[in-house]
Amino acid sequence: MGRLFRALISTLLIIEIAAIFLGTSTWVILMELHASTQVIIGGEVIAGLLIIAVSVVVFRRALEAERRIDENIPSDA
């Protein structure tokens, strides 16, 4: 299995949990505040953009970790 594929799998597993949690909590908080439908959708869009930004960072970190694993470099080096 390639380095890119392993980093992608680990990123997807982490981001899937984060996306479900953030999307649900955003919806629940805005519903409890009796926000309008447009505000709720806007909040979900912002949450989605945040998830995309976090997934890029997580993927880069995972790719770097996979590179270190392939080269047998200790993480404290």
- Write out pLDDT tens, residues 34-58: 999 999 999 999 999 999 999 999 9
Inter-residue contact 9 to 76 (CB < 8 Å): no
Q: Specify the pLDDT at position 76.
A: 65
Q: Specify the pLDDT at position 56.
A: 97
